[in-house]
Every structure is written in C-alpha cells, then in structure tokens.
Amino acid sequence: MLNNNMLNASTNFYVGLSIVAVLIIVLAIIVAIVPIGLWFKALFSGCYISATKLTGLRLRKVNASLIVNCYINAKKAGVEISLQDLETHLVAGGNIKKITEALITAKTAKVNLSVETAKALDLANKDVVNIVKLCVTPSVIVTNPISAVAKDGIELIVKARVTIVCDIDKVLGGANEDTIIARINEVVVSVVGNAKTHTNILENPNVISKTILDKKIDSATAFNILSADVEEINIGKNIGAKLQAERAEADMQIAQAKAEERRSLAIAAEQEMRARTQEKQAQLLDAEAEVPKAISTAFRSGKIGVMDFYKMKNVLSDSNKEKLKK
C-alpha cells in the first residue's frame, strides 16, 4: 500500500513538472513572438492595439516599435491614421516619422492634409513637414537684379519682392519657386520694354507689381502669391546711345574699308599707267634708234642729200624752239 502511494506521488510530481516545463516553453514562445512591451506601452498610452496585430507586425519583420510609436503620437494629437497606413508606407520606403509629424502639424495649424496626400508627398521626395509649415507661414522671394530697357533706350535695373504661401493641394505636379522667379523676370522685362520712357516706370513702379498680380504667375505652381512689390529700381546704361555709337563705329569702319579699297584700286591703276608709260618710252627709244639707220640708208641710196638733211635739222630745231616758247 505504501509503495503504491509513493509511486502515485512520484508520478504526480513528474506530471506536474512536465506541465510546468510545457508552460514555461509556451510562455517563452509567446514572449519571443508577441511584443508584450509594445502592447503594454500602447495600452497605458490610451491607444489599445491587439496582441494579434502586434504579433503580425513582428512576424512580417517590419519595425513594429517605430510603427507603434508613430501611431501613439498621431492618436494623442487627434490624427486619424491606422496601423496599416503606417505599415504600408514604411514597406514602400516612406518615412513614417515625417508624415506623422506633418499630420500632427497640419492638425494643429488647421491645414487640410489627408493621410494619402502626406504619403504621396513623402514618396515623391518632398519635405512634407516643411511644406506644411510653408502653408502656415508665408515666405518672401526677392529676385536678383533684373535688367530691362525702355523704348527710349535707358536701362532700368529692377529688384522685385513677392510674398508667397504654399498651397498643399497644388504641390504634387506643381512647379517650384524657380518658375515664379522666371515669370517675374519675364513680366519686368515686358513692362519696362513697353514703356515709352524709363521715367514712366520710375514715376509709377506699381505698374510692375500690378502686372505681376494680374498675370497670375502662380498658376500651375505649388504656391499662391499674396503680394508683389518693387523693392528697388536703379538707372543703368543708356543702351540706345550705346547702340547708336556702335552702329556709327560700324558704319565708319565700313566706310574706311571702302575708302581703302578705292585707294588700293587707284594705286593699282597708277602702277599700271606707269608700266604703260615705260613701255611707250621703250617703244619711242626703239623708234628713235631706227631714225639714224633710215637716214644712213637714204644717204646710201641717194634718196636724200646733204642739203636736205641740214634743212630737216633746221626745221626740227625751229619746231623745238616754238615748243619751248609755248
């Protein structure tokens, strides 16, 4: 009887020990799989998350701690966002801390920013937090000096200043600040270029500001223009006079080139005439050299006598005297 009792006690002990071991193993598995710490953190933060969802996050090998922290922060700020939104954005390569901060800032500043818009902006490599801040706080753009010439040829150097605010609904697909600056440059050049005189602009610089606003240069951009002002106007060079002087200089150079061409032609003609003169003189010398030969032949043939020769000499001498008198 005693042996049976001892056997039963021993059996019960080992059975109990086995049950405890199994419980310990099961508990260890649960602790390893279920993020108990995150579950308690969410619970005491007033943002209950089921252990099943937390376990699913861990099994899917995503950063459960980051997701839970962002979820708690959003919920405490009154932002409606789900764990699934945060998880899918994180898996897509997004920055859930950024979008959470942006949504909280937008909620506080009463900016209409949806979760989907925040995710899209972040995936488009936009600084969504800064965009929300720009929607609340206007920023100022001051252009570089813009050179423009009025119809009277006077250059004006203008600096314009515009105050802009970001429109979050136009950020995706909207142009940036560079487009606004380029359009301001275009407006300034157009307005000054259409002015009859530069004094018209100096007397009424508001025409530039008014045109900037009327042209709606913020269309298709991520901003809305609140105001436009001319910060500074300076008088530059007399472009018209400079162009006239350059034109006169060019005309003078052309005239000089033509005169040089005529001079070269005249020199060439002179050289040609000198060559012809020398040629004629050579021909004359050749002819004069033939005269003695002809006289000699005439003497030998008897066609001319001595008295005829002297008479001819006297006639030539008288002719030369007459030429000298004249």
**For residue 99, how many other CB atoms are within 10 A of its CB?**
29
**pLDDT averaged over every residue in the chain:** 80
**For residue 117, how many other CB atoms are within 10 A of its CB?**
20
The 10s digit of each residue's pLDDT in 217-251 is 888 888 999 999 998 899 888 876 666 767 777 87
The 10s digit of each residue's pLDDT in 55-94 is 777 777 888 888 888 888 888 888 888 888 988 998 899 9
Write down the pLDDT at residue 189: 92
Pairwise CA distance, residues 195 & 201, whole Å: 7
Tokens of 201: 């602009």
The angle formed by the CA atoms of residues 19, 21 and 26, to the nearest 5 degrees, is: 95
Q: What is the pLDDT along the chain (326 residues), one digit of tens a residue?
A: 545 555 555 565 555 656 655 555 544 555 555 566 777 777 777 777 777 787 777 777 888 888 888 888 888 888 888 888 988 998 899 999 999 999 999 888 888 888 899 999 999 888 888 988 888 888 899 999 999 988 888 889 999 999 999 888 888 888 888 999 999 999 999 999 999 888 888 889 899 999 999 988 888 888 999 999 998 899 888 876 666 767 777 878 887 888 888 888 888 877 888 878 887 777 767 776 776 776 677 667 766 666 666 666 666 666 666 655 55
Pairwise CA distance, residues 211 & 191, whole Å: 8
Pairwise CA distance, residues 124 & 101, whole Å: 17
Q: What is the DSSP letter of 236?
A: E
Write down the pLDDT at residue 6: 53
Pairwise CA distance, residues 158 & 234, whole Å: 7
**For residue 154, how many other CB atoms are within 10 A of its CB?**
22
Model pTM score: 0.59
Backbone angles phi, psi at 158, to 5 degrees: -115, 140
